[in-house]
A and B are shown apart, each in its own frame.
Chain A
Amino acid sequence: MELGQMQGRLAEYTRSLYMEGILDAQFLQLQQLQDESNPDFVVEVVSLFFEDSEKLLNDIARALDQQSVDFKRVDAHVHQLKGSSASVGAQRVKDACVAFRNCCEEQNVEGCLRCLQQVKQEHYLVKNKLETLFRLEQQIVAAGGSVPMAEMTF
């Protein structure tokens, strides 16, 4: 595939992610923050996010697995995850966290488990999508091209 095509594909792909609400404007902000002094900024931040969020998800799962569930603790973790996902623009994950916090308020273990599932799903989804995105970018750079500065064209 030639460079132009790859770049086209990337643009298209990125746009779809925004359209589907998987990513929001924050991600764009991150991309705009990236510059020559920090060419891998976005990748680094996103990696940090996944590292942190995976831990959080495990903590939540463990907390819900207790005999007597400490909902405050669960809520605290979810709140953290919400903040983190907001940082990278993982909109759907963030929304799932909001729903999750409601379940925590209701102190319903079943509901919480369901919410956790939802969050995990969204988390997995955005992870895959971003990995694809980065791969595309890498291909472009490898092919000698540059990744165009993201624009919100929609």
Chain B
Amino acid sequence: MENGFSSPRSESFPAGLRVLVVDDDPTWLKILEKMLKKCAYEVTTCGLAREALNLLRERKDGYDIVISDVNMPDMDGFKLLEHVGLEMDLPVIMMSVDGETSRVMKGVQHGACDYLLKPIRMKELRNIWQHVFRKKIHEIRDIDHHESFEGIRLSINGSEFSDDCIMFSGEDLTSFKKRKDFQNKYDERDYGDHSSTKKHRVVWSVDLHQKFVKAVNQIGFDKVGPKKILDLMNVPWLTRENVASHLQKYRLYLIRLQKENDLKASFGGIKHSDVPSKDTSGGFGLQSSIHTNQNDVANDRDQFSGSNFYGQDLDAKNNEGDQEEIVSEPRPDSKKPLTADVPDPQDTRSSQMSFDHSSASLGSDVNYTEFDCSIPKQYPWSECPEVQSKQEHKLLLQLEGGFSQQPPGVPQHYIEIDQLQSGRDTSSPIKNEPVLVEYKSHHESHISPKETAIDNFSVQSKSLIAYHQSFEPSSTAIKSMKPQAVDLSCITDLESCQRNLISPSDLTFPPFNEDLTVCWLQGDFLNKNFGLPNMEFADYSDPGFIADIPVHLYDTLTSDYECPYDPTEYPIVDQGLFIL
């Protein structure tokens, strides 16, 4: 087995590559071992996934690459793949006798660098070293963000591979010397041989990873950055580059996890098993925001915002600034109850301001002030209570049902408000519509008196307006707990509302800004996320949050909102989303 650092490198690469083969079939294990030995690789075989993980953990940096079968009795090959990728950051090749596209796709999604079909040919195994090499190059590049890369490049490009780990020869790369982990590697290993200036890959042990996750959570997913994490982690030998590449992987991992969570009706935030706070999850792209604990309404911010512009938007304070950011920074204290997030209704948040600005002309019939007080602080978006109230108006109106006016030409997707009102459980029939509005009864009470004032707004009769291309601004009573949906919807709604407000009598609802790409709503997210049931609208009564979003939306919409997802992919997004 592996002889330690120096051995594999003493021969000409790729000879001596240290391969770990994992397969529950003893016949295959034997054959692969033989084949790999013929390639002059150093082979370790393993019949169980768990055993493989143990081996990998025991000998950190003891292997260069892992080849694993997909179907194994004790652990799914994909899970193993993820673990290895996260913890050890080794390239993993999957194998199977089953070559169905979906399987291969899954492999790639989980991070496999290759997927081989059995029976495997020698020539396929001969070239597996390329994955190891590729990774090294990327790692070096990571490190060399700040450092001169030239030396490395030259050596890599020019030299023959017969040299010792070209890229690893420390003398050539001053950057290596700067790598603190280098020293640490030595410490971790009981190697007496310190002559090797090989770059030691950081092995992300469970402990280290935990520290990492904790740091990420502390900082807040959307605010996260390698430097900050590094500082928080307080691991002396770790470098910023290590953290950066690990962060990247972590993000991908979370994305994958998220996709797997079809169960989560709501947008599903990223399930971070390690991430306790929703905040961080928000950081991870849109998904995270969505997948964050649905249970925790308070975390809505994260949820919504997550990567979505939403997150930021929701935060009245941030929204202006965060417009562009896809990865929103959920407030670190996402755990705050919604109310926390939602500024006191009386507060005038910036978002409100923006809203105000935008709707300055609105001066609508809507009596916003009235709502202020009534708006419970539950809105996760908790932004601009005022705005919210305004939105509320609309939403309320809509929810109230009986809103007859429909803006002309505005296709409306209604979401049964009934559902909303009855429970927060909107079975979100609308797949791509983020309908999350749960309207609490208290809203209704507020609404009624105001109804007249809002007459002008087209209201959807008791339906949550699902976002969809066009939305009726009024209908966006969004209590949508679904952060994702809400986000978009809110925004779109907001916009539409705003627009409407401006010309109440003219109920034309311009299509929601295309900018508002509810990218994240799209596809998986949408499907998954719309499970309103998942959303826990604990504090539903606070319409405030809804308002927040719209405001933000407004802002973002007007600014160039950057949707992480290709807008074209999300047809729904075009028009904005109503968050009901």
Contact = CB atoms under 8 A, between A and B. Distances in A.
B121 interface: yes
Interface size class of A (residues with CB under 8 A): 20 to 34
Contacts of B71: 76, 79-80, 83
A65 interface: no
With most chain A CB atoms within 10 A of its CB, the pick from B35, B38, B119 is B119
Contacts of A52: 25-27
Contact of B118 (A41, A44, A49, A87): A87
A41 B121 contact: no
A38 interface: yes
A29 B34 CA distance: 11
Contacts of B76: none
Interface in A35-71: 38, 41, 44-45, 48-49, 52
A95 B523 CA distance: 38
Closest 5 CB pairs of A and B: A83-B97, A87-B27, A26-B119, A49-B27, A48-B27
Contacts of A79: 71, 97-98
A44 B30 contact: yes
A48 B27 CA distance: 6
Nearest to B29: A48
Nearest to A41: B34
B28 interface: yes
Contacts of B263: none
A84 B122 contact: no
Contacts of A82: 97
6 contacts: A29-B122, A52-B25, A79-B98, A80-B25, A80-B71, A87-B119
A33 B27 contact: no
A98 to B, nearest CB: 10
B118 A29 contact: no
B98 A87 contact: no
A138 B377 CA distance: 86
Nearest to A26: B119
A30 interface: yes
A125 to B, nearest CB: 18
A33 B384 CA distance: 72
A86 B30 contact: no
B28 A83 contact: yes
Nearest to A44: B30
A41 B35 CA distance: 11
A49 B31 CA distance: 11
Interface in A70-106: 76, 79-80, 82-84, 86-89
Contacts of A49: 27
Given A79-B71, A86-B119, A48 B26 contact: yes
A14 to B, nearest CB: 18
Contact of A45 (B24, B31, B122): B31
Interface in B17-41: 24-28, 30-31, 34-35, 38
B546 to A, nearest CB: 45
Contacts of B38: 33
Interface string B201-227: 000000000000000000000000000
A79 B31 CA distance: 18
Contacts of B69: 83
